[in-house]
Amino acid sequence: MKRAARVPHDLAQPSGWRNRIVADGQADPSAITANPLNWRVHPKLQRETLEDSLETIGWIQKPVINRTTGHLIDGHLRVAAAAARGEPLIPVSYVELTEDEERAALASLDPMAGMAVMDGEKLTELLHDLELGSGSLNQLFDDLRDQAEGATLASASKTGEELLQKGLPVVKAVIAVADMNLIERALAATGTAARGDALLAICKVYLHEKGQHDAGPEDLAPVESAQKNPEPDRAGNARWAGTNLEAGVQRDPAGDRVRGKGGKG
């Protein structure tokens, strides 16, 4: 009688993506080892907003620990906040990854989340009359409302698809979260829906006023139109975008300081 051939363990698993989560549990945050290759730096505003969220809503997402190395893969700020507060135990998930897989996960988790584009109408609906938390969380909601104004999923997707279809290289910039509200307001002030077109319009105006770019009427039209017929709440933004683009340190209509050179966020 013939013995049945032994099926390798990997092939015996059901078809589909592998589940690398091996356990859920609780851990002392002060005993969790931060990943030595963690490349994310968390500014004060982000820390305050996260702490406000944890205080108001609680734990809704678990930090992830790799059992193979004992290193944290996701949730460094949450673990640090819990340790600083003296929390005895926090919820965690355990995975088993090789060292290379751990590095790949550490490098890709946040950037993949950042690839999502904004549907302004849905975000506006989501944030309608939403007030929660003690301050930082509500400030985040206010900033998101400003970003959602005038932003549409269609315009963002169309621009990206056109660039990919043309085979053009795409440039990505790292911008501090605290500066995003100012940037979104400046882009909106041009009156151009697509962010890439709005940024080009602002750059052309800047270089034209410095005598470094021969911008024609068609190049300056979006900003000039926004200056002549701005919406009431964007009047100051339109003037700022079209006439106050100077080198070095600037100020927006609200008086906030704007750095001439971007920093790492």
pLDDT tens sequence across 84-124:
999 999 999 999 999 999 999 999 998 888 777 778 888 88
Shared domain for 233 and 250, answered yes or no, is yes
Greatest mean pLDDT among 10-19, 36-45, 163-172, 231-240 lies in 36-45
7 within a domain of the structure (yes/no): no
Shared domain for 263 and 196, answered yes or no, is yes
Shared domain for 70 and 121, answered yes or no, is no
Res. 18: pLDDT tops 80:
yes
> How many domains in the chain?
3
9 within a domain of the structure (yes/no): no
Res. 56: pLDDT tops 50:
yes
Question: Sorting pLDDT into bands at 50, 70 and 90, what band is 246?
Answer: very low
Res. 242: pLDDT tops 90:
no
All residues at 6 or more sequence positions from 144 whose CB lies less than 8 Å from its CB, including other chains: 123, 127
Shared domain for 199 and 163, answered yes or no, is no
244 within a domain of the structure (yes/no): yes
Residue carrying the six token digits 């400003």: 146
For residue 183, count CB atoms less than 10 angstroms from its CB and return exposed for 0-12, middle for 13-18, buried for 19 or more. buried
Listed residues 168, 203, 238: the one ending a domain: 168
Rounded average pLDDT over 49-70: 95
1 within a domain of the structure (yes/no): no
With beta carbons less than 8 A apart as the criterion, state whether 48 and 80 touch: no
- For residue 76, give the CATH number of its domain: 3.90.1530.10
Res. 32: pLDDT tops 70:
yes
Rounded Cα–Cα distance for residues 190 and 145 (Å): 18
Shared domain for 47 and 126, answered yes or no, is no
Shared domain for 189 and 252, answered yes or no, is yes
237 within a domain of the structure (yes/no): yes
Shared domain for 127 and 110, answered yes or no, is no
Proportion of the chain above pLDDT 90, given as a percent: 33
Greatest mean pLDDT among 200-204, 206-210, 222-226 lies in 200-204
pLDDT of residue 234: 42
- State the residue range of the domain holding 70: 18-114
Rounded Cα–Cα distance for residues 193 and 198 (Å): 7
From the centroid of its chain, how far is CA 78? 17
97 within a domain of the structure (yes/no): yes
174-184 residue pLDDT tens:
677 667 777 87
Which of 43-52, 125-134, 191-200, 243-252 is predicted with the least confidence, judged by mean pLDDT?
243-252
90 within a domain of the structure (yes/no): yes
The pTM is what?
0.56
